Structure 1
Amino acid sequence: MQPEWRTAYAMSFSASLILHAKPPSVLPNETTKLGNAPVSDSSKRYPSRRETLGGMAAFGSAAAAIGAEKSQAASGPKQNETAFKGKVGETFDESTPDYLPHRKKDPSQPNIVAIMVDDVGYSDFGCYGSEIRTPAIDRLSTNGLQFTNFRTTGVCSATRACFLTGLNNHSAGIGWLTYEDSGYPGYRGRLASNAPTIAEALNDAGYRSYLSGKWHVNSAESSTSAGPFENWPAQRGFHRSFWFQGHSTDFFRPMNFFEGNESITVGEDFYATHDISGKALGYVKDHMAVQPDAPFFLYIAHPATHSPLQAPAGSIARQRGRYDRGWDIIREERFNLQKELGIIPAGTKLPDPNPGILPWSELEPERQRLYARYMEIYAAMVEEIDATIGELQVTLDELGILDNTIIVLFSDNGGSPDGGLLGSANLLSGRIGGMSLEQCLDMFDDIGGPDSYPMYPAGWAAASNTPYRLYKHDSHLGGVADPLIVHWPKRTASEEKLRPHYLHTIDLYPTLLEAAGVQPLETIRGMKAKPLHGRSALATLKDADSPEIRTEQHFEMEGSRALYSDSWRLVSKSRDPHAADGWELFNVTEDINETNDLSGKHPEIAARLVERWEELARKYDVFPIDSRSGRRKSMAAFLSGGTRSEWVFHPPVSVLLPEAAPELIGRSNNIEFSITPYEAQDEGVLFAYGNMFCGRVLYIRDGTLFHELALRPHSIIDSVSIPEGTQHITIIQHLTKRPWKGRYDILFDGKRAYRQHHDRLLFSRAMQGLQIGANHGVPVSSSYQHAFAYSGTIRQARFHLDTTPYTEKEIEYLLKPPFTSGR
């Protein structure tokens, strides 16, 4: 007879299969199950992009794929190749063999599954006080342990670096994100090469390591099909990997996924949460089929709930009306439930609303309707994660390994304020003043689907972070306090499920190593390995009365600084290290959510902790503090002009991801295509940069050459008839006042056929990179469908960019556009 929870999950997944418009797409020769309903279709496959463009052959069998990825990965468990002890004669009959020893699995070694979710706030799971339905996650908590004082770094790349290396994020090389190498040890934008990953450490002891999901610890410029590869998952210990590099991905039609070191195109029924989980389960099933005597480490890094907020239509529909009450009531209800659950002390006070957050009752009805829709999508994304976690539990139980598998579930930072106070149906439109309420309402039915790039308003992020203040990007607890659940039935059976012990992300690495009986690596790639900064909390898992392992931890993110020391928490009031307004001081034993600033009452304590913070900052590569705005930092490489002005392509070529592609918006450039003589029937995309949410495209249709600059719902279209026999097409973007004003010239065979001036160009960060000869993924223009590949032949495409750095005056002009959309 099935355990009761297994029966419940089987029923819930069967219902989910009926309610979803489409099941998750599946991988070659694999079976993906939603509850008891298997879905198998060998026709749905992940071809390489080169195959799509007429290049390399299709992937082979799953076994061949395993072999190919192993050849790219770290060497795995070492064999004892000591001196030969046998006898070598001229024939086998005259010789004595000496076999290499085979590593036997230690029965006490657990399998390890680490699940990291993205931008999920402290209160977004049911067991942490949410109204969002998360039965699978709640089951993990009920049968495991739930931590109430777990801390991260405030942004995704930095927390991932902490988890993967066991080091404070600056010491691991990632003081912020991965846009660029800022020139200092703590801000390289990639993992330090002398910092072994947890996968590398576990592999050395016989584990097999797998990754599915978001990587985002690799430098932007190395995110190309030609590498360099030394910091990719396959080279950092993951034997098999299905992953993407950037901070975000389109959930339905991404163009940034890799398998091992190979760029791939996903299937038509793709939804990131489903397919990342499906791939992960496929890795586990393959592993148990062929290597059941070896333990495994599986890292599932979900991009949900990072923007864009996108979910299956049926999942969104199931949330309808649940958030009409608004963020004030939701926040208060979560706060009260947290008290009932014992997550926070009964005497805790709910902080005042974060600055700028309006009471829900003061919003006009249409704005309430729109904002409720954003939160419905967010809740749907969380529920989709929960469904995959339920399926993971079922799968591990069916394989007979659930009891001796450690499942660690946590978020990378607090709820995100990136949507601003108003949210948007297209987050990328913020650079031109955003979208008006009317424009968003016109898109209402599309919001959350594949033709939108939405983000909820900060009022919902504040509710996500209940009971704490502020958000992601901050060192206040709203940015760094996150859920952590540990499930390991074989070792964590305890009546007391809540753990108030203070843990930081860096502590997970040594905890998991000790649970596996593995020592940290002393050397890596011929270098002395950095010693771990984290401390093992294994005793905490076993005993609720175990002592604290961590009584001090420093924080710095985008200039926001903090120090936890015993009962005290010191937090900077601003991001400017030279600001006169100084620091706040809180006694977090009595005031867990930073509501009562005691810096005036205890200036001597504040001064001592400031001095200690500075000591730790020097020790852990925090200096120099980069207090530039996030927008200024994210655009630093663009503003500096980069180092490459010439790009030449001979199609077919793989997509260039946005981090590594030439910047075709906001800079003057000449683009020239050499084609076979144009004929009247020729049509299709010559180049596509970005997508409809921000992009630029040049295509031919019905004898007309179209150039479109898109930033949904806005677009600028230039067009001109193209003569038959044309062999050279040139489009010149000349900016007269960067980035907002300029003109376009179109030339056929060197002769100008068109010129148009524009006083209000569109500008933002394109998120889908550059494609030549087609527009796969999300289209730039609504004027065509599918890839709309060019039917003629492109012999060569040449791009010349103006790489002149932006002046300070131009930067000010860019950051404060001369127009808004009247939001």
Structure 2
Amino acid sequence: MTTPDRHARSMLPIPDLPRPGLTTYDAKDPATSYPPIEPLLPPAGAPNVVVVLLDDVGFGAASVFGGPCATPTAERLAAGGLTYNRFHTTALCAPTRQALLTGRNHHSVGMGSITETATSAPGNSSVRPNTKAPLAMTLKLNGYSTAQFGKCHEVPVWQSSPLGPFDAWPSGGGGFETFYGFIGGENNQWEPALYEGTTPVEPPATAEEGYHLTEDLADRAVGWVRQQKALMPDKPFFLYFAPGATHAPHHVPKEWADRYAGRFDDGWDVQRERTFARQKELGVIPADAELTARHDEIPAWDDMPDELKPVLARQMEVYAGFLEHTDHHVARVIDAIDDLGVLEDTLIYYIVGDNGASAEGTVNGAFNEMANFNGMAGLETPEFLLSKVDDFGSPDSYNHYSVGWAWAMNTPFQWTKQVASHWGGTRNGAIVHWPRGIDEPGGLRSQFTHVIDLAPTILEAAGIPEPTMVNGVQQSPMEGTSMLYSFGEAGAPERHDLQYFEMFGNRGIYHQGWSAVTKHRTPWDMVGGDLAAFDDDVWELYDGSVDHSQARDLASEQPERLAHLQRLWLIEATKYGVLPMDDRTGERANPDLAGRPTLIQGTSQTFYPGMGRLSENSVLSIKNRSFSVTADIEVPEAGAGGVIIAQGGRFGGWAVYVKEGALAFSYNVLGIQEFRTVADVAIPAGRHQVRMDLAYDGGGLAKGGDVTLHHDGEQVGAGRVEATQPMVFSADETTDVGYESGTAVSADYSTATSRFRGTIHQVRIDIGDDSHDHLVDPDERHRIAMARQ
């Protein structure tokens, strides 16, 4: 369908075209006539659209694709719709999301990797060109109501503070009229850092009161869609539901994890065999598909220490409960749409993962990811992990499962998330449900499809043309292929028959059934060792017509075909901005070397009361050096209390606060040790300057330091911090002035009691010239950036 109505929909906003006619002098003249004002609507028959995108779920995890994690909602939608078993993503979250939301390849929209490793190269800048308007904007300007709930990891890091600019935020330039969720790669499911639009907000309840982020997002989505249909029943909606689940931390109520007790005691090798058999039974892989071999980089279950195996099994129980819990809340959104009587007219995409399962949890997994991020994974000994086995998934944890489970959750394919060369990194299960547009409920579709195909499919289903102009900027064509042709014919020849893949040098190409691929680096080996030159990478060749899982490498048998595909990859890479390939690590973690802006300059930074939700890259780094915090405050006659400034939270951070009227400082190392210093006397009533100095010991990273506390220049207390965190405090906690959001750094207060009682005029951080950051391995910085996305 092209333009079935009078609107010129290829130019957005749709131009107002007043119709010439008789203009009378007096409105009472009988000849006075104007057509009634009509609200803008899409073409007749345009469906409601729901896109559900889960996070870090491999092809072999969900029960609908043969996995061990129950997903009855996905199964129900598949039974009433279509299952796509050759649907692909980019192998990483932010690139997949930007590709989905624009209908373009990830390098075409500047998202060659994650925002934290952006460079000044156009394909890796993390900046979406204004010639590639997002789908939500196109739908909104054609009369759709639009809303996003959940994760947004497409905002450049230098634009992620509460001051924006908001061009890349969902409700800024993203085309969504409503946004409720978080900005970044991951978030605490129990105590998240949330935004409503561009305004920081606090969760409506606490973990102790039963709060969980996925449930909150579902509540918001259900409320929005009900209100939309109550107030605008004739207007279709576009709902993008993208929970942070099941990305680490794997947080879920204990009863959901306990459903899987004992189910994974046999380990990942056995689980992979079980999943493979179930996949064939369901028919989601061909009967002649082969189970790919385990690579040497992935340990066998039998080679893991016996004392660690109960912990490893519990990690997977928690993850499985997390995925089932997520699917349950997706059901609530679907049921709300059904209850409104509009499910028949709603096109639903349920995409089970934005990339393959995540192998970023190390070989042993983690109870607190921050230990690994700070090079302190050795603190999590088997004895320590075993002592915490019952706490995995709880508010006291920040957990991730081991590499072995990630590999098993990508059955039957090779490799994992980040490995864009192989299907284990890029093949995700997808379900399409649209009763009015699908005549074969329960059908299987095996055409090659890709995440960039969603946008053109949705536009074709709605009868809306791709815009040629948006907000005065000429648009480049979408690069995806509409999947609508496959809805009605299982055997229709695939139309998306050429697709490149690339992520950090892991790369491949698909063309008419064949794939040529090369893995350049292993995701969990981010530090140490020399990478091969790109030209020295070893390529593999697979015939997808007879080898569904990339199990039989034909490179040595058909070198001419391999060479042809390698050349084709280079052509596509040139076309879409992949070049230059960039496998640098430390350089990309350094904004100056990478060529991206940074907010913070100099050695001093001043904050004012009420400032908060400041990400770690919005604040001067005080790690591995001396620093001081000076605050200008007024103390009431009744005495002061609460937080002056805090950075981080329960799993690592520091705070300057007032405890029972006295100035205090707390340094929390990984939630394992808390070092407190409290002044000997209370702060008198009136206006005062209070200061905390930490004199760093030196001699390397993560060392301790002496603490002194001052009132108006006079020392009033002294203490000691025995160790510090050298790399990062948190993946999601922030810096707040006059209160603390998220979790509390110190056990001396809670977030509910953290608000400062008194007046703060300003707070200043000054850092010393004794930095030891030069000792930080640049590759280690890159590893941390990757592990947090």
The TM tier, using the shorter chain, reads 0.7 to 0.9
Aligned partner of residue 322 in structure 2, secondary structure = helix
Question: Do 1:152 and 1:481's aligned partners in 2 also have CA atoms closer than 8 Å?
Answer: yes
- Deviation, structure 1 residue 801: 4.2
Rounded Cα–Cα distance in structure 2 between residues aligned with 1:340 and 1:667: 59
Cα 1:104–1:814 change in 2 (3 A) is: closer
On the 8 A contact 2:195/2:201 being kept in 1, the answer is: yes
Question: Which residue, out of 397, 415, 423, partners 1:477?
Answer: 423
Counterpart amino acid of residue 740 in structure 1: A
Aligned-residue offset at 1:95: 8.1
Match of residue 578, structure 1, among 520, 523, 534: 534
Bigger shift: 615-624 or 800-809?
800-809
- Looking at structure 1, the residues matched to 498 and 185 of structure 2 have their Cα atoms a distance apart, in angstroms, of 29
CA distance in 2, matches of 1:371, 1:742: 33
Post-superposition offset of 1:751: 4.2
Does residue 416 of the first structure (1) align with residue 354 of the second (2)? no
Q: Kindly provide the CA deviation profile for residues 391-426 of structure 1, in whole angstroms up to 9, marking residues without a partner as x.
A: 233222221111111110112100000101100100
Q: 1:679 to 1:632 in 2, by over 3 A?
A: farther
Partner-residue secondary structure (3-state), 2:98 = helix
The answer as to 2:397 corresponding to 1:452 is yes
- Taking the aligned partners of 1:814 and 1:184, their CA distance within structure 2 comes to 22
- Tell me the residue number matched to 2:192: 254
CA displacement, residues 79-126 of structure 1 (integer Å, 9 cap, x when unaligned): 745156453536656882423344466552111100000001102221
Which of 636, 653, 656 is the equivalent residue of 2:611? 653
1:622 counterpart = 2:578: yes
- Per mean C-alpha deviation after superposition, the further-off stretch among 729-738 and 264-273 is 729-738
Q: CA deviation at 1:719?
A: 1.1
CA contact (8 A) 1:514 1:538 kept: yes
Deviation of residue 667 (structure 1)?
5.2
1:151-179 C-alpha deviation (Å, 9 max, x unpaired)? 10011000001100011001111111112
2:742 aligns with 777
* 2:58 pairs with 1:121: yes
2:275 and 2:244 map into 1 onto residues whose CA distance is: 24
Q: Deviations over 1:337-364 (max 9, x none)?
A: 1111122222222222243433333434
Which of 641, 656, 671 is 2:629 aligned to?
671
Counterpart among 552, 565, 569 of residue 515 in structure 2: 569
C-alpha contact (below 8 Å) 1:639/1:806 kept by paired residues = no
Matched, 1:492 2:438: yes
C-alpha distance in 2 between matches for 1:220 and 1:730: 31
- Residue of structure 2 in register with 1:682 after alignment: 640
Superposed CA deviations along residues 274-320 of structure 1, whole A, max 9, x for unmatched, are 11122111111111111111111111111100011001222222222
Question: 1:388 Cα shift?
Answer: 2.0
C-alpha distance in 1, partners of 2:593/2:255? Answer: 40
Q: Structure 1 residues 791, 677: CA separation in 2 closer, same or farther (over 3 Å shift)?
A: closer
**Does the 8 A contact of 1:179 with 1:659 survive in 2?**
no
Change (3 A) 1:808 1:391: same
Moved more, 600-609 or 699-708: 699-708
Report the CA distance between 1:147 and its aligned residue: 0.7
Offset at residue 713 of structure 1 (A): 4.1
Q: Distance in 2 between matches of 1:815 and 1:528?
A: 39
Of 102-111 and 394-403, the range deviating more from structure 2: 102-111
Matching residue of 1:46: none
Q: Corresponding residue for 1:207?
A: 144
Q: Report the secondary structure of 1:136's partner residue.
A: helix
Q: TM-score by structure 1 length? A: 0.84
Of 743, 753, 756, the residue aligned with 2:705 is 743
Q: 1:809 to 1:659 in 2, by over 3 A?
A: closer
Alignment partner, residue 146 of structure 1 = 83
Whether 1:160 and 2:117 are equivalent positions in the alignment is: no
Kept after mapping to 2: 8 A contact 1:584/1:598: yes
The residue type equivalent to 2:365 in the other structure is G
Q: Which SS does the other structure have where 2:486 is aligned?
A: helix
Deviations 1:554-573 (A, max 9, x none): 11112211111223211123
Identify the residue that residue 285 of structure 2 maps to in structure 1.
344
Matched residue, 2:298: 357
* Conserved? CA contact 2:665–2:678, under 8 Å: no
**Structure 1 regions of 5+ residues with no counterpart?**
1-74, 818-823
Query: Could you say which residue in structure 2 is the equivalent of 1:110?
Result: 47
1:178 aligns with 2:119: no
| Deviation for aligned residue 1:450 | 1.2
Could you tell me how far 1:217 is from its partner in structure 2? 0.9
The 1:655/1:393 distance shift into structure 2, 3 A limit, reads closer
Residue 285 of structure 1 aligns to a residue in which SS? helix
Choose the corresponding residue for 2:756, options 771, 790, 793: 790
In structure 1, the residue matched to 2:692 is: 731
1:555 aligns with 2:501: yes
1:323 matches 2:264: yes
Contact 2:245/2:322 (CA < 8 Å) preserved in 1? yes
Deviation of residue 227 (structure 1)? 1.7
Residue 133 (str. 1) matches residue 95 (str. 2) = no
| 1:644 and 2:590 are equivalent in the alignment | no
TM-superposed CA distance for 1:795, in Å, is 1.8
The aligned residue for residue 763 of structure 1 is 726
Structure 1: distance between partners of 2:547 and 2:158? 44
Please give the TM-score of this superposition, normalised by the length of structure 2: 0.88
Q: Please provide the CA RMSD for this pair.
A: 2.8
Q: Does 1:533 align with 2:479?
A: yes
- Distance in 1 between residues matched to 2:771 and 2:424, nearest whole Å: 36
Distance 1:754 1:194, change over 3 A: farther
Residue 23 (structure 2) pairs with residue 87 (structure 1):
yes
CA gap 1:521/1:667 in 2 versus in 1, 3 angstroms: farther
Question: What per-residue deviation string (whole Å, max 9, x for no partner) do you get for residues 642-691 of structure 1?
Answer: 64233222212232133433334345533211122587943322211111
How big is the shift at 1:812? 5.6
State the alpha-carbon separation in 2 of the partners of residues 812 and 488 from structure 1: 49
Opposite residue 118 of structure 1, the aligned amino acid is: D
Distance 1:92 1:248 in 2: 63
> Helix, strand or coil: the match of 2:276?
helix
Aligned twin of 2:376:
433
User: How is 1:61-100 mapped onto 2 (pairs within 5 angstroms)?
Assistant: 78=14, 80-83=16-19, 85=21, 87=23, 89=25, 96-98=32-34, 99-100=36-37
Identify if the C-alpha distance between structure 1 residues 803 and 618 changes in structure 2 by more than 3 Å, giving closer, same or farther: farther
Q: Is the 8 Å Cα contact of residues 675 and 795 (structure 1) preserved in structure 2? A: yes
Match of 1:298 among 239, 246, 253: 239
> Residue type matched to 2:703 in 1?
K
The 8 Å contact of residues 215 and 233 in structure 1, kept in 2 or not, is answered as yes
Contact in 1 for aligned 2:675/2:721 (Cα 8 Å): no
The CA deviation at 1:595 is 2.5
Partners of 1:600 and 1:808 in 2: how far apart?
A: 46
Letter in 1 for 2:61: D
Given candidates 363, 369, 381, the residue that maps to 2:310 is 369
Decide which moves more: 421-430 or 762-771.
762-771
Match for residue 677 of structure 2? 719
**What residue identity is the alignment partner of 2:89?**
T
* Aligned equivalents of 1:241, 1:86: Cα separation in 2: 45
Between 1 and 2, higher relative CO (CA 8 Å, sep ≥ 6) is seen in 2
Paired residues of 2:78 and 2:442 also in contact (CA < 8 A):
no
- Measured at CA, do residues 330 and 679 of structure 1 come closer, stay the same or move farther in structure 2, by a change above 3 Å? farther
Q: What is the SS of the residue equivalent to 1:192? A: coil
User: Distance between the aligned counterparts of 1:545 and 1:816, measured in 2?
Assistant: 45
The alignment of Structure 1 onto Structure 2 pairs a total of residues equal to: 741
- Maintained 8 Å contact 1:659/1:769: no
In the alignment, the residues of structure 1 paired with residue 562 and residue 190 of structure 2 have an alpha-carbon distance, to the nearest angstrom, of: 49
Counterpart pick for 1:600 among 556, 565, 583: 556
Q: Which secondary structure does the structure 2 equivalent of 1:501 belong to?
A: coil
The answer to which of 465-474 and 323-332 deviates more is 323-332
Q: Name the aligned partner's letter for residue 696 of structure 1.
A: W
Would you say the 8 A contact 2:49–2:238 is kept in 1? yes
Determine the C-alpha separation between the residues in 2 that align with 1:803 and 1:596. 57
Equivalent residue number for residue 649 of structure 2: 691
Identity score, percent = 31
Structure 2 unaligned segments of length 5 or more: list them.
1-10, 522-531, 784-789
Match of 1:22 in 2: none
CA distance in 2, matches of 1:355, 1:793: 60
In the TM superposition, residue 604 of structure 1 has moved relative to its aligned partner by 2.3
For 1:816 and 1:528, the matched residues in 2 are separated by 36
Q: Structure 1 residues 654, 725: CA separation in 2 closer, same or farther (over 3 Å shift)?
A: closer
Contact 2:625–2:771 (CA under 8 A) maintained in structure 1: no
